[in-house]
């Protein structure tokens, strides 16, 4: 066994600089109940990028010796106080092969596993055996790399919808890997789903997957198309990863327009139909703008996988995990458009490219 | 008994004009369980103005014969579809004297009562006897005019706070009649309250009432003052009647700043402390702007008295009504700055003045 590994770490200095470095770290022998995994694949999710680059000015990305650096705008430093000068590891999830194990888990050596838990953008990860998902024989690391964040988020949307008494979902942007999983889940489960995409080719791709309601925000008829799709599905809950701008507001106003069609007369307070919107990402960091034409029966909240899972019954969570394992290569298959090494991540042009968060473009780190 | 009364009505025509008229309406004899009340006082609440003027361009207010008219901007007509060409009565609440009653409620004749239920901007109101609150002997109509909307809203905030597990409240704008009631309630009940006002003299007035935490949004130190007051009270729920602009966003960010002070380390998703904001009015009709620096544990919703009351246990509602009756001239006393007649309401300058919704300026209609 090697005695050192490499770990990608992000630091924001007190002087307002971001430093991304690939640090040599000593490898520890796994203790009781622990595994040492050689990481073979880890997806770069939008949720990783927030930690990786923080509010850095991406135009200022530059190489400084072995490090990738960028300036943090002064106005953004206040919110970074809690992480100043701390080198933080990155990477929510990944997959790899167990190369060492505690005395009680020697049976796991050589097994390929999927993992959740941070610090996955590294050559190795020490992890509790109970926190890994052993992959079926023959499964590749790439197939196992993204079995937590997107699959559980997509299933989580459906569970939140059920728990809060809604019957159909609006999702934006819908062409992402996560969006594709949601299309497959809703199709299999008979749940109405309104998919909002930003380009005609994304609409075509989702229709090929079997999506019934796809509306394209780049079209002039977007608002009418959205309203019609909401009417046809009865959707009263939405999940929006864009966050900034008017998407959530547009969805709520379309839901209210549908609700008002079913009202007997005018009510200055709007309809009584509760319209629920969740913001689960921040692809657009600009402010959320709400044009409040949707009455008073509405609710907007942050949606975070970890918090949502905690609200669910343990048996629901177990059912979700089992489904992900069973449908790994179908419902929950991810599609990656580029593969890069840990060293590549420190290249300014490469970093700018994977930080663009273009829907449909998905990077896989292969340490 | 007169055979006709007068009723203020608002109509939006298909041609995009608002018409406010004082219409002669036949008075009906009260049937079983009904009362006919001669209205003596009715407050003009912000919630009445939304119906009265809708999205009219107040600069275009003009007199057209007996009617007050204004133009509705084209872009606003879509949302008015459901009320086109319908003369709608106005006035949520009021007080007056019973002048006729159904055969079973003759005992009520001559009693002064407070009422909720719409169409109070009129000379008379036919109403179910069970929907009135008989006032104590000697109570004036002015004392009884505003015993529903503001008192139950202020008490409703406290009940919502309790039901959702918070311990202190942020309120904006806090110098209104409603805000003053909330100060008295929270003082009596030992509940932490952060009062946001917009002028130094409003801060002084609330402090005179016994408010401990008053912050003035016109001061340069507003954000720091707000954060400190939230820290001192532990407030994690807010009620905002402004609606437009950044007030709700500023409150949530201040709550998050306090929550982050108590965190062990950096978490890119922000604190786990649930921050709840309610928007209960629309004094500012411009869009709500959210600068999402408050993590993912947050929730913003519309708050409407009627909906909130329905969520409460009947015994809680009964307790609230009893308290309003008991503390009519103390906790729930309203202060009116101008008294106008129904005819006055059709004067363009007067209408512009009471529609300005200036905090602290409160109009009473005395038909």
Write out chain A residues lying below 8 Å of B83, CB-based: 265-266
Write out chain B residues lying below 8 Å of A303, CB-based: 296
* Same-domain pairing of A47 and A156: no
For residue A46, the distance in angstroms to the closest alpha carbon of chain B comes to 12
Q: What's the CATH code of the domain at B355?
A: 3.90.180.10
Residue of A nearest to B84 (CA): A266
* Same-domain pairing of B114 and B127: yes
Q: Which among A51, A249, A299 has the least Cβ separation from residue B301?
A: A299
* Same-domain pairing of B138 and B165: no
Q: CB of B38 within 8 A of CB of B96?
A: yes
Contact B302 A301 (CB under 8 A): no
Q: CB of B341 within 8 A of CB of B366?
A: yes
Q: What is the DSSP letter of A32?
A: T
Distance CA B271, CA B259 (A): 6
A-B CB pairs within 8 A amount to 94
Task: Please tell me the predicted confidence (pLDDT) of residue A359.
Answer: 67
What ipTM was reported for this prediction? 0.88
Distance CA B298, CA A288 (A): 14
* Same-domain pairing of A176 and A228: yes
Average pLDDT over residues B269-279: 95
Residue B321 tokens read as 């009504």
Does residue A329 sit within a domain? Answer: no
Does residue A23 sit within a domain? Answer: yes
* Same-domain pairing of B57 and B86: yes
In 10 A of CB B337, how many CB atoms? 11
Does residue A78 sit within a domain? Answer: yes
* Same-domain pairing of B142 and B233: no
A residues 73..92 contacting B (CB < 8 A): 79, 82-83, 86, 88
Write out chain B residues lying below 8 Å of A50, CB-based: 268
Task: Please tell me the predicted confidence (pLDDT) of residue B359.
Answer: 67
Task: Please tell me the predicted confidence (pLDDT) of residue A80.
Answer: 87
> Is 80 exceeded by the pLDDT of residue B337?
yes
> Is 70 exceeded by the pLDDT of residue B360?
no
> Of the candidates A263, A278, A310, which is a domain's last residue?
A310
pLDDT tens across B184-194, in order? Answer: 999 999 999 99
How many residues are recorded in chain B?
367
Q: CB of B8 within 8 A of CB of B89?
A: yes
Write out chain A residues lying below 8 Å of B299, CB-based: 299-302
For every residue of B123-150, DSSP letters joined together read: SEEEEEGGGEEEPPTT--HHHHTTSSHH
Does residue B274 sit within a domain? Answer: yes
Q: What's the CATH code of the domain at A160?
A: 3.40.50.720
> Is 60 exceeded by the pLDDT of residue B321?
yes
Residues in chain A with pLDDT values less than 50: none
Does residue A319 sit within a domain? Answer: no
Contact A287 B249 (CB under 8 A): yes
- Check if B261 contacts A (Cβ < 8 Å): no
Residue A102 tokens read as 């505690």
Task: Please tell me the predicted confidence (pLDDT) of residue A131.
Answer: 84
* Same-domain pairing of B188 and B142: no
* Same-domain pairing of B155 and B257: yes
Does residue A326 sit within a domain? Answer: no
Average pLDDT over residues B12-30: 96
Does residue B84 sit within a domain? Answer: yes
pTM for this model (two decimals): 0.89
Number of domains composing chain B: 2
Does residue A237 sit within a domain? Answer: yes
- Check if A289 contacts B (Cβ < 8 Å): yes
Confidence class for position B102, pLDDT limits 50, 70, 90: very high
Question: What percentage of chain B has pLDDT greater than the value 90?
Answer: 84
* Same-domain pairing of A219 and A102: no
For residue B106, the distance in angstroms to the closest alpha carbon of chain A comes to 34
Residue of A nearest to B83 (CA): A266
Average pLDDT over residues B156-164: 96
> Is 80 exceeded by the pLDDT of residue B361?
no
Contact B268 A51 (CB under 8 A): yes
Task: Give the CA count within 13 Å in the CB-facing half-sphere of B186.
Answer: 31
* Same-domain pairing of B83 and B154: no
Please state the three-class secondary structure of A71-124 as a single string. Answer: ECCHHHCHHHHHHECCCEECCCEEEEEEEEECHHHHHHCCCEEEEECCCCCECE
Structural domain boundaries, residue A117: 4-146+334-365
Beta-carbon contacts of B142 under 8 Å, excluding residues fewer than 6 positions away, are: B41, B95, B336, B364
* Same-domain pairing of B209 and B292: yes
* Same-domain pairing of A155 and A226: yes
Q: Which among A47, A263, A289 has the least Cβ separation from residue B289?
A: A289
């Amino acid at each position: 066994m090697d005695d050192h590994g490499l770990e990608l770490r992000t630091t924001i200095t007190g002087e307002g600089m971001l430093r991304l470095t690939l640090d040599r770290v000593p490898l520890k022998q796994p203790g009781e109940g622990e595994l040492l995994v050689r990481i073979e694949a880890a997806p770069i999710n939008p949720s990783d990028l927030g930690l990786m680059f923080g509010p850095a000015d991406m135009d200022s990305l530059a190489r400084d010796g072995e490090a990738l650096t960028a300036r943090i705008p002064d106005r953004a430093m206040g919110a970074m106080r809690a992480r100043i000068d701390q080198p933080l590891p990155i990477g929510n999830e990944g997959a790899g092969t167990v190369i060492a194990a505690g005395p009680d888990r020697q049976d796991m050596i050589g097994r390929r596993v999927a993992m959740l838990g941070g610090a996955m953008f590294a050559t190795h990860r020490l992890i509790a055996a109970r926190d890994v998902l052993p992959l079926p024989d023959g499964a590749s690391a790439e197939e196992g790399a993204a079995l937590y964040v997107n699959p559980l988020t997509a299933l989580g949307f459906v569970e939140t919808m059920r728990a809060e008494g809604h019957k159909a979902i609006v999702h934006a942007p819908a062409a992402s890997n996560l969006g594709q999983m949601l299309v497959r889940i809703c199709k299999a489960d008979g749940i109405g789903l309104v998919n909002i995409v930003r380009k005609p080719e994304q609409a075509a791709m989702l229709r090929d997957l079997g999506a019934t309601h796809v509306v394209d925000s780049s079209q002039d008829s977007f608002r009418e198309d959205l309203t019609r799709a909401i009417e046809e599905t009865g959707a009263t809950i939405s999940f929006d990863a864009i966050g900034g701008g008017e998407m959530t507001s547009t969805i709520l106003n379309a839901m209210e327009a549908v609700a008002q069609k079913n009202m007997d007369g005018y009510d200055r307070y709007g309809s009584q139909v509760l319209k629920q919107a969740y913001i689960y990402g921040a692809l657009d960091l600009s402010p959320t703008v709400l044009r409040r034409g949707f009455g008073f029966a509405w609710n907007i909240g942050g949606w975070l996988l970890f918090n949502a899972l905690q609200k669910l019954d343990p048996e629901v969570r177990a059912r979700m995990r089992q489904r992900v394992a069973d449908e790994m290569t179908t419902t929950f298959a991810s599609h990656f458009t580029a593969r890069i090494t840990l060293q590549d991540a420190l290249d300014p042009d490469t970093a700018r490219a994977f930080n663009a968060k273009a829907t449909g473009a998905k990077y896989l780190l292969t340490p």
